[in-house]
Amino acid sequence: MSDAGRKDFSTKAKEAVIPDSSKSTQSKVSETFTDTGDKLARGAQPDHDKSTGQEISDKFGRSKDREVHGSSGGSVLDKTKNALGLGDKH
């Protein structure tokens, strides 16, 4: 089960199982857009406002992103605010 406007676990699992070489260009582009939208939504909504399943999925996704891309932590929204100079000023 997923929160409104979010990819659910089964959709993510299906996309991950199919190798990119077997996907059409349209499918790859569609996945890229929906993945980006899902990551933005993941960062915009606090975990305590999410369903349990979505919260667990988002925590796993953030952990995977940090492992793959390296990160100092923080949500996508926080990083965007900081990049625009709108973040917390300590």
Confidence of residue 22 (pLDDT cuts 50, 70, 90): very high
* Structural domain harbouring 57: 23-83
Report which of residues 71 and 33 the model is more confident about: 33
Is residue 63 domain-resident?
Answer: yes
Segment 78-86 mean pLDDT: 75
C-alpha span between 14 and 18 (Å, rounded): 7
Q: Indicate the average pLDDT of the chain.
A: 80
Is residue 8 domain-resident?
Answer: no
C-alpha span between 52 and 4 (Å, rounded): 14
Is residue 14 domain-resident?
Answer: no
Is residue 1 domain-resident?
Answer: no
The pLDDT of residue 26: 93
What is this structure's pTM?
0.58
The pLDDT of residue 24: 92
Is residue 55 domain-resident?
Answer: yes
Say how many domains are in the chain.
1
Is residue 70 domain-resident?
Answer: yes
pLDDT tens digits, one per residue of 26-42: 999 998 888 888 888 88
